[in-house]
Chain A
Amino acid sequence: MTALLEVRQLTRTFGALAAVAGVSFSVRQGELVGLIGPNGAGKSTLYNLIAGAIAPTSGEIVFKDRPVAGWKPYQAARAGVARTFQIPKPYRHLSVLENVALSAMLHDRTVAAACGSAQAILADVGLADYVDAPVGNLTVGLLKRLEVARALALRPSLVLFDEIMAGLTPSEVRGMTNLVAGLPARGITVIWVEHVLYAIMKTAPRIMVLHRGELIADAAPEVLVKDPAVIKAYLGEETSLA
């Protein structure tokens, strides 16, 4: 099976610091891949590289068999790569509906059609009650869901989720987990960064671990929890598992 996204020896340095150092992996169509790592591991930089927010120092990104390293965010979005932002970035002066409709306008030719698509997606993510609210009234948890709604409204083939569970209650986490788990069946491939580990460990059949800019593991969750390198990265050397 050919890869939807292929990353080869991707590197991005900021001065002397290599935020992402020689990362290679590939994701097939319909996969749900978790991406974890301690703070500062380079997860957000990796997302910024794939989604075109920053250009790589070296390395290749191939999306749908096309080399795309260094593309612009709007080119990525048009080609089918959607992302959420770790710190939500709503359009302050637009309503919740308009925030999502803007993404839907990528495919819908009219504002009315885009609003229709946006309504359906808002219901999907549990924001139906907030359709007409100004975004200024939303809590962090609701803003995270708005981020997810905006990403899905682009009708992407690949979506990059960045900590969409932070600030959610346990029952909201369950709802969101079900939503994410159902995306591959709808033809949407998912890469998912999350600090709420129990959610991602249960849901993603494959998890990649990033540490200090390098990919130190790429395996099923049950294999990962026994991987000494992963344990070391998360808990430190001094900790004994005994």
Chain B
Amino acid sequence: MDAAPLTSKRRTGRWRLLPERGTISLFELLLLAICLVLVAVPLPQYLQDVLIQTFLWAGLALAWNIAGGFAGLISFGHAAFFGIGAYTSSILAANYGLTPWIGLWIGGALAAAFGAVLTLVCARLRGPFFILSTLAAAEVVRIAALNWAALTGGAEGFSILPIASIANMVFESKTTYAALMLGYFLLIYAITKAVEGSRYGYYLFAARDDEEAASAAGVNPLLARTGAMCLSAFLAGIGGSLFAQYFLFLDPTHVISPELSFQFALLPALGGLGTAIGPVLGSFVITPLSELLRSYFGGAGAGLHLAIYGAVLVVVMLYFPSGIAGALQRLAERGRKGAP
């Protein structure tokens, strides 16, 4: 479930092939190079769209993973943070003329505040009870957004004026959006790596694995958990703002839906919960797959793409219980044992 743990023999001065806690590996650098190339080369519009979604979801899955993977706060309510971010920056831009470049931080902060309240209110809940509470909290946000039509446009939705300019954070070229989403994903990856290798990261792992033991070791578990949820919600909220600036249309049924919340949890679970690279791999495999299946079977066999998508999920969960990252790590261990 976890990244390769820190070992006593830190082979300094040598590049690691596969991701490990506390260092950057060749695998990660290679992935970065591929991402940069994909943004730079001219691709057909629909492939660029897949790329943009893949980067966005890599970032969102990483954000979820800080709470769900590192701190063990499995949330089925992250769509609420996403929606709060999306609506906040969009409403501030439309009603007060505030540029989304500033609005997205405010959206993130509001999402973080909501995450803190949620964690503190649910402080005593564990396991399924916590999960259900997050699901319910997100539904409350969705219904509020549906009914507060004066602010959000309600069920009719909320449109962002498609006037391209840097200040509006609206762009003509999909390449710009791809670069923007890549930046978002890389920012969260950097934060994730920093948390993973820090004392705070260890406090989260400890509180997740055994709260009583962590507390006896001087860790305040509630504070650690709340911090993780705040950070996770903040980053998910920023992702919501970026999504709004790309799709230019919001409606509560789509941006605060339970399906969206499940997607947040699904990608890290498939890629490898509690690792930095896991959520990235989850998004890089699943997002293109679901988009391509949708476009391929969209017309005649409508719904077939969901069946195939579901079958793939079941297979991955059956054969790779610790995710794609877990399979990679086993491969690495086998390689290390084989080496002289």
Contacts and interface: CB of A to CB of B under 8 A. Distances in A.
Interface in A84-129: 85, 89-95, 97-98, 101-103, 105-106, 109-111, 114-115, 119
Nearest to A79: B218
A134 B1 CA distance: 12
Interface of B: 1-2, 5-9, 22, 197-199, 202-203, 205-206, 208-210, 212-221, 274
A194 B78 CA distance: 48
Given A77-B217, A78-B218, A93 B209 contact: yes
A114 B218 contact: no
Interface of A: 51, 53, 72-74, 76-78, 82-83, 85, 89-95, 97-98, 101-103, 105-106, 109-111, 114-115, 119, 131-132, 134, 150, 154
Contact of A111 (B1, B198, B208, B217): B198
Given A93-B2, A106-B218, A111-B22, A131 B8 contact: yes
A74 B8 contact: no
Nearest to A114: B199
Main secondary structure of the interface of B (DSSP, over half): loop
Nearest to A92: B209
Given A91-B209, A94-B5, 8 more contacts: A90-B210, A90-B213, A91-B205, A94-B2, A94-B205, A106-B217, A106-B218, A111-B197
Nearest to A134: B5
A131 B7 CA distance: 8
Contacts of A105: 199, 202-203
Q: Which of B199, B213, B220 has the most CB of A within 10 A?
A: B213
Contact of A72 (B6, B208, B217, B220): B220
B7 A95 contact: yes
A75 to B, nearest CB: 9
A181 to B, nearest CB: 24
Contact of B199 (A95, A97, A111, A154): A111
Nearest to B216: A73
Contacts of A82: 216
A132 B217 CA distance: 20
Contacts of A101: 6, 202
A114 B5 CA distance: 15
A97 B217 contact: no
Contacts of B197: 111
A106 to B, nearest CB: 4
Contact of B206 (A51, A94, A114): A94
Given A53-B212, A90-B213, A106-B217, A115 B5 contact: no
B6 A97 contact: yes
A90 B5 CA distance: 15
28 contacts: A51-B216, A73-B212, A73-B215, A73-B216, A74-B216, A74-B220, A74-B221, A77-B217, A82-B216, A85-B212, A90-B213, A91-B209, A91-B210, A92-B209, A92-B210, A93-B205, A93-B209, A94-B5, A94-B202, A94-B209, A98-B202, A102-B203, A102-B206, A103-B218, A106-B218, A115-B8, A119-B8, A150-B217
B5 to A, nearest CB: 4
Given A92-B209, A111-B22, A102 B217 contact: yes
A97 B9 CA distance: 11
Given A92-B209, A93-B1, A103-B217, A132 B202 contact: no
A56 B208 CA distance: 27
Contacts of A89: 210, 212-213
A63 B161 CA distance: 65
A72 B211 CA distance: 13
A159 to B, nearest CB: 11
A134 B203 CA distance: 18
